[in-house]
């Protein structure tokens, strides 16, 4: 097994401004709430990823993969911390999203306790694929988030960079412990099907609820922009359908989609982050 990139844990703080939380994205409140809804799922989701990988940690012989797992856990823990702070600001701004977060937390607890570890790992590998393809488009097309509030923009940029850096770690753990047989392939594909249904099955109702709370559910102009952004010309989701489906190819590996060049943004990103922190 070949590790292509070794992730690095970075302890960064973003202090996203509270007063902007409901409308920080340059595309307006509906797109803002879409990103905010994704943010709501991260702390609990990332805790779930960490736990499902941890359950297999002692079965990994390759020291390089062990090190990558350690960095993966460190990165996801930092993401969770920063998104928790971000999500707290949504609650303070009057969105009762803590209720939704509690439901997600309960659901993931039940899955963690009562489903087979292999299924949890396959769901994690699949969700890492979803986050990796979303990260790819954010880094590839910076205008997807340009001209938005700087702190929110930097937080998402950082998260996208690190999701790219560690995009193969859970997958490599999967291959190391499950092998490359037909059974492993079948369960990996099933994991993506299941993860997709559960993920959108939770994200869509929460997104609608958040918009309803904000009185934006019937903002048709907002919806028009949102569809333009996700599936229209801009096509944040549309442009990744091919990469999404590639996961079902038997020999698939996350680095087959070689987007290492996007990681070259890390140095300038860190310089910007440092300048912002000392400003």
Quick one: tokens of 269? 């990103």
Nearest CB to Fe ion, comparing residues 76 and 149: 76
- Binding flags for Fe ion, 48-77, as an x/- string (CB under 5 A): ----------------------------x-
| Nearest to 142, CA basis, from 131, 153, 133, 152 | 153
Hey, what's the torsion of the CAs at 245, 203, 207, 224, to 10 degrees? 10
Listed ranges 79-87, 144-152, 225-233, 256-264: which one lies at the site for Fe ion (CB under 5 A): 79-87
Instruction: Please give the Cα distance from 229 to 51 (Å, whole number).
Output: 34
Tally of CA atoms within 13 A in the half-sphere of 93 that contains its CB: 21
- Binding flags for Fe ion, 146-185, as an x/- string (CB under 5 A): -----------------x----------------------
Question: At its nearest, how many Å lie between Fe ion and the CB of residue 228?
Answer: 27
Question: Strand runs (DSSP E) across the chain, as ranges?
Answer: none
Q: Of residues 25, 79, 83, 188, which one binds Fe ion by CB under 5 A?
A: 79
Residue nearest to Fe ion (CB): 79
Nearest CB to Fe ion, comparing residues 56 and 226: 56
Nearest CB to Fe ion, comparing residues 42 and 207: 42
| Nearest to 79, CA basis, from 192, 165, 194 | 165
Question: At its nearest, how many Å lie between Fe ion and the CB of residue 76?
Answer: 5
Instruction: Please give the Cα distance from 4 to 79 (Å, whole number).
Output: 22
- Interface with Fe ion (CB under 5 A): 76, 79, 163
């Amino acid at each position: 097994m070949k590790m292509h990139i070794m992730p690095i844990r970075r302890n960064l703080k973003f202090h996203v401004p509270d007063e902007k939380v409901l409308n920080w994205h340059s595309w307006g409140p509906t797109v803002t709430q879409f990103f905010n809804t994704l943010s709501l799922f991260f702390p609990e989701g990332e805790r779930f990823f960490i736990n499902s990988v941890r359950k297999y940690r002692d079965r990994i012989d390759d020291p390089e993969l062990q090190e990558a797992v350690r960095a993966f856990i460190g990165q996801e823990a930092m993401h969770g911390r920063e998104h928790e702070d971000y999500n707290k600001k949504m609650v303070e701004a009057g969105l009762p999203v803590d209720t939704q977060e509690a439901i997600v937390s309960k659901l993931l607890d039940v899955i963690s306790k009562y489903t087979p570890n292999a299924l949890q790992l396959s769901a994690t590998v699949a969700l890492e694929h979803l986050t990796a393809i979303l990260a790819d488009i954010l880094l590839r097309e910076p205008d997807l988030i340009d001209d938005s509030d700087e702190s929110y923009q930097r937080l998402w940029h950082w998260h996208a960079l690190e999701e790219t850096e560690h995009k193969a770690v859970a997958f490599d753990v999967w291959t190391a412990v499950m092998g490359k047989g037909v059974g492993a392939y079948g369960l990996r594909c099933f994991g993506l099907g299941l993860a997709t249904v559960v993920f959108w099955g939770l994200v869509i109702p929460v997104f609608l609820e958040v918009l309803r709370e904000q009185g934006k559910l019937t903002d048709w102009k907002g919806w028009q922009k949102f569809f333009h952004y996700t599936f229209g010309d801009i096509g944040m989701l549309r442009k990744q359908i091919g990469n999404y489906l590639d996961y079902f190819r038997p020999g698939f590996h996350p680095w087959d989609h070689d987007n290492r060049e996007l990681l070259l943004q890390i140095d300038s990103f860190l310089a910007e982050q440092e300048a912002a922190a000392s400003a």
